[in-house]
Structure 1
Amino acid sequence: MNQPGILELVSFGPQGWGKALLAGAWMTVLIALAGYSIGAAIGSFGAWAKISGSRGLRIAADTYTTVLRGIPDLLVIYLFYFGGSAVVTAVGQLFGAQGFVGFPGFLAGSLAVAVTSGAQFTEVFRGAFKAVHAGEIEAAIACGMGRWLRFRRIVAPLTLRHALPGLGNVWQVVLKESALVSITGVAELLRQTQVAAGSTGLPFDFYLIAGAIYLLISTGSGLFMRRAEQHFSRGVRRS
């Protein structure tokens, strides 16, 4: 019996796995977006704590970035999933539930990705803020701008401009980290690929297809980030 070709494997017909792979790719993007958004919020607070917070906040932010950048991302996902499941099971037992109650894999994976990426966001935002020339802030103060107006019109746009290259790198890392969430049973791209490979006995073909899909997503998002850099760098003299 002849083995099906690549086009047949990714088709949307009854024998193809196109729908499953597309659904998995969409779930991968959702996990990455959720983790990226929450991580950006965490990183914003962490950068603020390192820049203008009290000594206690600086120590807490330094500890957070050191710990999260020093332990494997897979371990963080395990801690969120099994730790969350232990908490949910204990709460469920208080209300009469029996047996193990699993923590939602999507939520556990998104939070784990957010916490790990938040450490990277912290350093990206901190470095971007430090890159803003002090004279630009002093000029805003001399013009009589209040703290909020100064932040909205001067500090935030300039910080974002300097942070964009780093933000693009963090997104690529988050996108790859989302593949680890497959261990929680979430039907993202890698999980769907594993199912397809096991069902057809064609692991190499399907993992090659998954690699192409990941590359397509990362390339498209990379082009978007470069367009964003060009947009926010309008009027900037380049050496």
Structure 2
Amino acid sequence: MSHAAEYLPFVLSGIYVTVALSVCSLLVATVLGLIGAWGKSSSVSAARSMAETYTTLIRGIPDLVLMLLLYYGGQAVANQVGATTGLWSRMNLDPFTVAVFAIGVIFGSYMTETFRGAYLAIPRGQSEAGKALGLGRWQLFRLVIWPQLVRYALPSFSNNWLSLMKTTALASVMGLEDVVNKANAAGRATHQPFSFIVVVLLVYLAMTAASDVGLGILAKRLRASGAA
């Protein structure tokens, strides 16, 4: 067990990658979710069709399959383009970048429904009242729609964030040196895989607990400011 303890700093050094992957993926998912929600609520049929196809397709593919497809398939396409154009001989995609994009795309489909549901929950009369007061489109969104959108979306947004964090563990299969990958490496080196899997479990539990506290504080501040 003392030999395993020597690897503990090595394993914990992967927490930074895991946290960075989670945060960056959340940003991508949030942007895609807002765009998707706009598309599904749009009066333009093409936008609605594209948003509907996106959410249906992505939610129908297992997360791990999509991540591997983007990683290996994207690399194959990039190398084929390079060979055809002669611009590069071989390209190795960065696992972190691919993981951020893949997880962002996956949870962007869920965020789409989160933001769309929140938007539909806002009483239509409030938007009409804002227009009657002469508010422009941006003012209407910033002063009327956005504060309430945050309020209604926060519970589902929180659940998506917690699920997203756990999904980052799948990125280790692409060779990303996150906490899961390093725990597996330490387990093989010490022949004590169970010990390091427990460490990973505790790391994710700590991240989940910290997120619950942070989201709880955010919800209280929104209520105190009158946005919730």
Q: What TM-score, normalized by structure 1, do the two folds share?
A: 0.89
* Partner Cα separation in structure 2 for residue 25 and residue 84 of structure 1: 26
Distance 2:42 2:166 in 1: 32
Amino acid at match of 1:199: A
- Contact 1:165–1:229 (8 Å) recurs in 2: no
After superposition, give the CA deviation of every residue in 1:81-136 in whole Å (9 maximum; x if it has no partner): 01221123224432462xx6321111111110010000001000000001111222
| 2-structure distance, mates of 1:237, 1:188 | 37
In structure 2, distance between residues paired with 1:207 and 1:117: 25
Q: Which residue of 1 aligns with 2:2?
A: 4
In structure 2, do the counterparts of structure 1 residues 202 and 52 end up closer, same or farther at CA, with 3 Å as the change threshold? Answer: same
Quote the residue 1:216 is aligned against.
206
Query: What CA distance in whole angstroms lies between the structure 1 residues aligned with 2:227 and 2:91?
Result: 58
Q: Compute the RMSD of aligned alpha carbons.
A: 1.9
- 1:71 equivalent in alignment to 2:71: no
Q: Unpaired runs of 5+ in structure 2?
A: none
CA shift, 1:200, in A, is 0.8
Q: Determine the structure 2 residue equivalent to 1:187.
A: 177
In the TM superposition, what is the alpha-carbon distance from 1:236 to its structure 2 partner? 5.7
Aligned to 1:171: 161
In the aligned structure 2, how far is the partner of 1:177 from the partner of 1:53?
A: 34
Aligned ranges for residues 76-225 of structure 1 at < 5 Å?
76-93=66-83, 94-95=86-87, 97=89, 101-225=91-215
Q: Which amino acid in structure 2 is aligned with residue 160 of structure 1?
A: V
Amino acid at match of 1:60: M
What displacement does 1:40 show? 0.7
Aligned to 1:34: 24
Q: Secondary structure at the match of 1:233?
A: helix
For residue 237 of structure 1, report the CA deviation from its aligned partner: 11
2:162/2:208 contact within 8 Å kept: yes
Give the distance between the partners of 1:44 and 1:157, measured in 2 at CA: 14
Which structure: greater helix fraction? 2
Deviation of 1:235 (Å)? 6.1
Q: Which has the higher relative contact order, 1 or 2, with Cα contacts under 8 A spaced 6 or more apart?
A: 2
Aligned partner of 2:48 in structure 1 is 58
Residue range with higher mean Cα deviation, 148-157 or 84-93 = 84-93
Output the CA distance in 2 between the equivalents of 1:142 and 1:73: 45
Tell me the number of residue pairs that the alignment of Structure 1 and Structure 2 aligns. Answer: 226
What secondary structure does 2:107 align onto?
helix
**Percent identity, aligned pairs only?**
31
2:151 and 2:227 in contact (8 A); partners too: no
The change in CA–CA distance for 1:237 and 1:67 in structure 2 (over 3 A counts) is closer
Q: Which stretch of the first structure deviates more once superposed, 54-63 or 82-91?
A: 82-91
